[in-house]
Structure 1
């Protein structure tokens, strides 16, 4: 009779690897597909276009920047790895939303000064204040959550 394998304990399990290109790909594909499908089903052409540009593009960019910062900048400080995932992810999401809201504001100011003729009559500029912060917050929070899940919790030594 064969030997039974025991289920590994939490300490014995190895966390999944954090792979940046995969995170960026999913950060683009998930909102592009979901918002794009929602735009097509509801007949909102501007949402379908925004799904592929401002929504998914922002998500992919923020996931790439957040993931690269967490993964490659030597950012494995004890405080980041020891914070609860929810706190760390929420903080990253709030910071990303604030930065993206500022970027949307600056983009709208820039469009007011240097109008782009191809954008006249389109709803795209009006979508920026909502699309950018929301996409950035979700991408940063999800990327941070997944990075934190792949980062071993440091053991406290007394």
Structure 2
């Protein structure tokens, strides 16, 4: 039942919320969308400014896609077990964010290594240009996605 109907049934004045009075909760799809859009737009703008078609394509594929995947996995973990860990919820926000950013970079490097290794096994004599990009794109995407997710999760946890 929404608040307007409940206020009318009680006979009191209707509830009018100001713009900043209601705290937003942590909604996974919204946070993953934000983690995809932010680096994709910034890399796309960089590709337009430098007229680099490879960067423009990578903005929507390897940069944005890796960011969304890492944000989705981290968001699932935060929803299920993140609040139960005392150091994630209670430590200084900058320390937790820095720790998760370094973890995102490490995960991105691991994903880049796995991608180039597996792609090299499957197609040993046919190199593709995007495989060379993953060594920069995946760690950068991991850092951006981890930073966005943990920072926004801590803000939502502090308000709620």
Q: TM-score range by the shorter chain?
A: 0.7 to 0.9
TM-score under structure 1 normalisation? 0.79
In structure 1, distance between residues paired with 2:24 and 2:113: 38
In structure 1, distance between residues paired with 2:133 and 2:157: 36
Bigger fraction of residues in helix: 2
SS in 2 for 1:73: helix
Q: What is aligned with 2:57?
A: 49
Moved over 3 A (4+): 13-16
Q: What is aligned with 2:7?
A: none
TM-superposition CA deviations, 1:107-135 (whole Å, max 9, x none) = 11122221188x74x42111111100111
8 Å Cα contact 2:83-2:89 kept in structure 1: no
How many residue pairs match? The answer is 139
In structure 2, distance between residues paired with 1:90 and 1:105: 23
- 1:37 is displaced (CA, Å) by 2.1
Query: Gaps (5+ residues) in structure 2?
Result: 1-20
8 Å Cα contact 2:67-2:145 kept in structure 1: yes
In structure 1, distance between residues paired with 2:120 and 2:86: 45
In structure 1, distance between residues paired with 2:38 and 2:89: 27
TM-score under structure 2 normalisation? 0.78
